[in-house]
Structure 1
């Protein structure tokens, strides 16, 4: 609920988020004493979800499709993060970064490895480079024109890894 509220309005207050979730403000404040703590909590939960999603998608789809679906989810998270990026960067600690970054790198490494093994991408792509590129996509406004740009840039990144066809 908080994720959706922040995506709709990056300036949403804790009180408005509590109301939308159908809980009292006190309940929310017990778990998240500040708006910053809530934003960090949403960020960490989203990262955990993305990391867990990689093997699930690989089990359900061919590697390239799984990788694309994973990237779509990451870009969806980026739309929420767009409005709170400055706040998030201000509150994320070195420990938070370490605890979230390496699992993300491993998730991308797993997806890339499966795509390399299937011949869908050329060998040698670097997961950290790819994540850096995707992080730049989060700076694009989440309006219709911005989302069209994100799709084009993501397709460009996949072509850079050797993907021949474009996504449907």
Structure 2
């Protein structure tokens, strides 16, 4: 298959499998100590560096895709959670996923250049805001979420998660997100 066909979205099965494995390993390694090294990703995947560079020419390209993938999964979870939970429970379950997303966001943003960071932040705000609004709107319709709750407010309040280290996020994150859910409730006791 030609390089142009691969870029066009019709990757060979083995190439797609390599790409998925690279992203999975990079997500795991970005959480580790020190700087993410591309040769460590290639070695952990059991592939050559040339294969890695065909998929991700730079470290920033790889990290940006790790972040985008994490954000896309977070956004896609909102409608699924609404289909399987009541609105307020869906929002609470989504917040659990936000905590994991915040860890990846923090680690990726710490590893990329400032210009890449600004591009990634701008990319995430729209889709995440839409997911939050979907969850809030369902809650408002059901009478579970207060009428004045806005997606931007929630984003500002959950933004602190990416600033916490893992120990603090583990210790305080669930309680703080529970407090946020309680603050979003309509007809609080």
TM-score normalised to structure 1 length:
0.85
User: Which residue of 2 is the match for residue 3 of structure 1?
Assistant: 27
User: Which residue of 1 is the match for residue 40 of structure 2?
Assistant: 16
Cα deviation 1:71-121 (Å, max 9, x = unaligned): 111210112233332334614366554443211111100001111222222
Structure 1 residue 61 corresponds to structure 2 residue 85: yes
CA distance in 2, matches of 1:92, 1:132: 21
Q: What SS does the corresponding residue of 1:43 show, helix, strand or coil?
A: helix
Cα 1:19–1:137 change in 2 (3 A) is same
Cα 1:38–1:26 change in 2 (3 A) is same
CA distance in 1, matches of 2:30, 2:177: 24
Deviates further, 122-131 or 88-97: 88-97
Q: What SS does the corresponding residue of 1:131 show, helix, strand or coil?
A: helix
Cα pair 1:63 1:118 within 8 Å, conserved:
yes
CA distance in 2, matches of 1:133, 1:62: 22
Cα 1:160–1:89 change in 2 (3 A) is farther
Q: Give aligned pairs, total.
A: 164
Cα pair 2:67 2:108 within 8 Å, conserved:
no
CA distance in 1, matches of 2:96, 2:154: 14
1:33 to 29, 39, 57: 57
User: Which structure has the larger Rg?
Assistant: 2
2:67 to 43, 48, 51: 43
CA distance in 2, matches of 1:89, 1:121: 38
Cα 1:134–1:31 change in 2 (3 A) is same
C-alpha RMSD over aligned residues: 2.2
Shift of 1:136: 1.1
CA distance in 2, matches of 1:30, 1:73: 31
Q: What SS does the corresponding residue of 2:148 show, helix, strand or coil?
A: coil
1:139 to 163, 170, 187: 163
CA distance in 1, matches of 2:134, 2:176: 22
User: Which residue of 2 is the match for residue 110 of structure 1?
Assistant: 134
Structure 2 unpaired stretches of 5+: 1-23
Cα 1:109–1:88 change in 2 (3 A) is farther
